[in-house]
Chain A
Amino acid sequence: MSAVTASSAVGASVPATPARSRAGLFVRRHPTLVAGGGLILLMVLAALAAPLFAGDPVNMNPLNRLKAPSAEFWLGTDHLGRDVFARVVYGARVSLQVGIAVAVVSIAIGTVIGLVAGYFRQADAVITRAMDGMMAIPAILLAIAMVALTGASVGIVILAIVLPEIPRVVRLVRSVVLSVREAPYVEAAKAGGTRLHVILGRHILPSTLAPLIVQATYICAAAIIVESALSFLGAGVPPEVPTWGSMIAQSRQYLPVAPWTVFAPGVALALVVLSVNLFGDGLRDWLDPRAARRG
């Protein structure tokens, strides 16, 4: 879509646009998309390749307590003599895992419920009320309660963050379905005797894709923040797994003497969420220009 507009804009005077300048044009048109996406890619690669270069995130060495950043320890060491750089790199694994899983699962469940709510009037009232009820419970409190009840594990944390996100997806999908269900092509498909799952899957679902992809990035960013907050509060994944939230919680009392132990995971966290949000804004401008104009 953008390739067509890009080449037609330039192609008016130059018939054949070389691939490289087309890529350059894309970068100039969508700087946030490219910058955010590049940073995310870099961090995913670093998280995956952590065992190859990051060092040991759990090894304690009392002789190296609270060492300032140096050539040996790039981001210094914490109060137990653990390498902060290694822990920051390994911490990315939990954050990215939770962020991506929550985005995928909540979009999948929310889309199904949203399609049903938007298409079947009888189901709509019940579903909408239930979603209002779910949205009324503050996400962090619900997650705290679930983790406190069932014990800490990555799966529970993901589930606890998915639940409050589902209503947002349902609302989005429902509103798109409501706007296209009376469209002539859907009426035509119905009149032609097209089966229900084909109408929903092939005629209605595609209209929800662009806003859903954009929404997925925002959910991912929110999920990373909530996961870190849960770990920070001591209601997240098991404490022996290095996460950015738990690193900050364990190091906060050393803030005056060893600020790097708090700020290294903090900056990493802010950077990941910022790149995901920038990537989402870029995607929205690219895929869903109408929403972009609305702000």
Chain B
Amino acid sequence: MLSYILQRAGSTAIVMLLVSLLVFLLLFLAPGDPAAVLAGDNATPEQIARLRASLGLDDSAAVQFWRWLSQVLQGNLGASIYSNEPVVHLMAQRAEATLSLALATMAIAVPLAILLGVTAAHRAGTMTDRALMLLSVVGFSVPAFVVGYFLVWVFAMKLGLMPVQGYVPIGEDPVAWARHLVLPAVTLGLTYTALIARITRATMIEVLSEDFIRTARAKGVPMLRILLRHALRNAGVPIATVIGIGIALLIGGVVVTETVFNIPGIGRLVVDAISRRDYPVIQGVILVFSGIYVLLNLATDLSYTLIDPRIRY
């Protein structure tokens, strides 16, 4: 077990090193001279050259990468070109909103998806199953911003049930916080729900055809108990995997959903950075989001032994 954890952690570290190399290259290959930008419009070529040398921009790519990486490992992601604030600070200010949105989405999507997937598998081949699977294709196909504006139009503008946009910190007003998160979470969760529901259905159908299920049915175990205790537990590993892999979808979707609902989160930070060409911010957010994704997938892998005691490393 311990050697397995070490081995997985080792390959995770290699993947993260590759990711940071890719992210570094993005900035390194960026057109334009950062020294010229920093020196301002009135700088002479000599001043720019001096600034280049003092910033270490004349060093080789490998030296610059090493210097950048050692800063990153100390928690320094550089400063925004636009506001001159540290990128880590900018992200920390916006982390609560993004984290709230992501957790609310998972809280809605995961139970709903498993419920839908189990129902479809239980009724495999019937109209219910086909309708649910058609619904999941639709869920895959409608982009988050289309769903988002539709929900806003119906539930906020026409019916007036929900706020149109914005975010309220949980410490300020927990009820308003929750009300502001409902529509964004449903928007962001649609694709995620569709993905998990499909995998749940496929895995459950496989498990339900196994001998121990027939035995349980022959013993007269109630169907609900068979589905939840006997079948779902055995379908746990693929479902956990897709919940982990689907985090990538959530991270991409956060950027779009925060724009639609005007939520001041990390996604908005990136979108604002695009028009300002604020490369350090873009670079920092990509690095952190990729890191979260890689670590969550490591956690998913390690959780297999908890879900399925037969798995031993």
Binds B, one of A97-105, A113-121, A188-196, A274-282: A274-282
What 1/0 mask marks residues of chain B from 227 to 260 whose CB sits below 8 Å from any chain A CB? 0000000000000000000001001100110011
Q: What is the CA–CA distance of A278 and B137 in the complex, to the nearest angstrom?
A: 7
A232 at the interface (CB under 8 A from B): yes
Shortest CB–CB separation between residue A228 and chain B, in angstroms? 6
B290 at the interface (CB under 8 A from A): yes
Closest chain-B Cβ to A139's Cβ sits at a distance in Å of 6
Residues in A neighbouring B252, C-beta threshold 8 A? 138-141, 229
A138 and B141 form a contact (CB under 8 A): no
Smallest beta-carbon distance B139→chain A, Å = 10
Chain A residues within 8 Å of B273, by CB: 148
Which residues of chain B come closer than 8 Å to A270, judged between CB atoms?
138, 141-143, 146
Interface 9-residue window, one of A7-15, A21-29, A75-83, A127-135: A127-135
Question: Which residues in B have their C-beta under 8 angstroms from that of A225?
Answer: 143
Known: A133-B19, A221-B141. A141 touches B153 (CB 8 A): no
Query: Within 8 Å CB of B31, what residues of A?
Result: 149-150
Partner of B274, one of A144, A269, A281, A295: A144
Q: Which of B23, B29, B150, B201 contacts A266 (CB 8 A)?
A: B150
Complex Cα distance, B143 from A274, in Å, reads: 10
Contacts of B177 in A (CB 8 A): none
Q: Does A294 contact B (CB under 8 A)?
A: yes
Contact with A along B44-78 (1 / 0, CB 8 A): 00000000000000000000000000000000000
Residues of chain A lying within 8 A (CB to CB) of residue B259: 232-233
B16: chain A residues at CB < 8 Å are 136
- The reply to whether B15 and A138 form a contact with Cβ atoms under 8 Å apart is no
- Cα–Cα, bound, A144→B198 (Å): 29
A273 to B149, CA, bound (A): 18
Selected interface stretch from A48-56, A174-182, A252-260: A252-260
Residues of chain A within 8 A of B277, CB atoms compared: 148
> B299 at the A/B interface (Cβ < 8 Å)?
no
Q: Is B302 an interface residue (CB 8 A)?
A: no
Return the chain A residue nearest B149 by Cβ: A262
Q: How far is it, in angstroms, between the C-alpha of A42 and the C-alpha of B30 when the chains are bound?
A: 41
B112 to chain A, nearest CB (A): 18
Q: Min CB distance, A141 to chain B, in Å?
A: 5
Partner of A136, one of B15, B26, B142: B15
A235 within 8 A of B: yes
- Answer yes or no: A286 CB below 8 A from chain B CBs: no
User: Are the C-beta atoms of A248 and B202 separated by less than 8 Å?
Assistant: no
B15: chain A residues at CB < 8 Å are 129, 132-133, 136
Asked if A274 and B286 sit within 8 Å, CB to CB, the answer is: no
| A145 contacts partner chain B, Cβ-Cβ < 8 Å | yes
Number of interface residues of B (CB under 8 A): 56
In the complex, what's the smallest C-beta–C-beta distance from B241 to chain A, in angstroms? 14
Q: Is A73 part of the binding interface, using a Cβ–Cβ cutoff of 8 Å? A: no
Report if B14 contacts A (CB, 8 A): yes
B201 touches A274 (CB 8 A): no
Indicate if the CB atoms of A141 and B286 lie closer than 8 Å. Answer: yes
* Cβ A269 vs Cβ B143 within 8 A: yes
Task: Report whether A248 and B137 are in contact in the complex, using a CB–CB cutoff of 8 Å.
Answer: no
Are the C-beta atoms of A229 and B22 separated by less than 8 Å? no
What is the distance, in angstroms, from A246's C-beta to the closest C-beta of chain B? 11
The B contact surface, by secondary structure, is helix
CB proximity of A253 to chain B, nearest CB, Å: 11
* CA distance in complex: A136, B251 (Å): 11
| B153: contacting residue among A235, A255, A277, CB under 8 A | A255
Q: Does chain B have a CB within 8 A of A68? A: no
Q: Which residues of B contact A41 (CB under 8 A)?
A: none
| Closest Cβ–Cβ distance, residue B261 to chain A (whole Å) | 11
Interface residues of B in 202-224 (CB under 8 A from A): 202-203, 205-206
A137 within 8 A of B: yes
In A124-174, the 8 Å CB interface with B consists of 129-130, 132-142, 144-150
Residues 231-277 of A at the B interface (beta carbon under 8 Å): 232-235, 245, 248, 252, 255-256, 259, 262-263, 266-267, 269-270, 273-274, 277
Partner of A273, one of B11, B141, B271: B141
> With A and B bound together, what is the CA distance between A141 and B201 in angstroms?
30
A193 to B35, CA, bound (A): 59
Distance A171 CA – B13 CA, assembled complex (angstroms): 21
Partner of B286, one of A138, A256, A262: A138
In the complex, B9 has a CB within 8 A of chain A: no
Contact call A263/B150, Cβ cutoff below 8 A: yes
Does residue B114 face the partner (Cβ distance < 8 Å to A)? Answer: no
Residues on the B chain within 8 Å of A294, using CB: 202, 206
Residues of chain B contacted by A269 (CB below 8 angstroms): 143, 146
Q: In this complex, what residue of A is CB-closest to B152?
A: A255
List residues of chain B with CB under 8 Å of any chain A CB.
11, 14-16, 18-19, 21-23, 26, 29-31, 137-138, 140-146, 149-150, 152-153, 157, 198-199, 201-203, 205-206, 248, 251-252, 255-256, 259-260, 270-271, 273-275, 277, 279, 282-283, 285-286, 289-290, 293-294
Shortest 4 CB-CB contacts between residues of A and residues of B: A295-B202, A133-B18, A266-B146, A140-B252
Residue contacts A-B, CB under 8 angstroms, 23 given? A129-B15, A133-B15, A136-B290, A136-B294, A138-B251, A140-B255, A141-B290, A144-B282, A147-B274, A148-B273, A229-B255, A233-B255, A233-B256, A234-B271, A263-B149, A267-B146, A270-B146, A274-B137, A274-B141, A277-B140, A277-B141, A278-B137, A295-B201
